């Protein structure tokens, strides 16, 4: 996981996502059938 990886998109504040797993400072999430990672420091 890297902040230099290709972005799948941007989520607006308050968007409902499914959290799958927490891995070493990153959230593995699912949204509209896509799997991605969000750095935990950017989440509330």
Per-residue exposure over 12-36, b if at least 16 CB sit within 10 Å of its own CB, e if not: eeeeeeeeeeeeeebbebeeeeeeb
State the residue for tokens 């409902």: 16
Question: Is the pLDDT assigned to residue 2 strictly greater than 80?
Answer: no
Q: Express each pLDDT in 9-32 by its tens digit.
A: 898 988 999 999 999 999 999 999
43's CB contacts (< 8 A; 6+ apart) are: 27
pLDDT of residue 38: 92
pLDDT of residue 34: 93
pLDDT of residue 42: 85
- Give the start-to-end residue ranges of the domains of the chain: 16-43
Are 23 and 35 contacting, i.e. CB atoms less than 8 angstroms apart? no
Q: Name the pLDDT band for 37 (thresholds 50, 70, 90).
A: very high
Distance (Å, whole) CA 8 – CA 2 = 13
């Amino acid at each position: 996981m890297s902040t230099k990886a290709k972005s799948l998109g941007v989520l607006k504040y308050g968007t409902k996502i499914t959290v799958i797993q927490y891995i070493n400072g990153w959230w593995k999430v699912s949204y509209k059938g896509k799997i991605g990672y969000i750095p935990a420091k950017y989440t509330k």
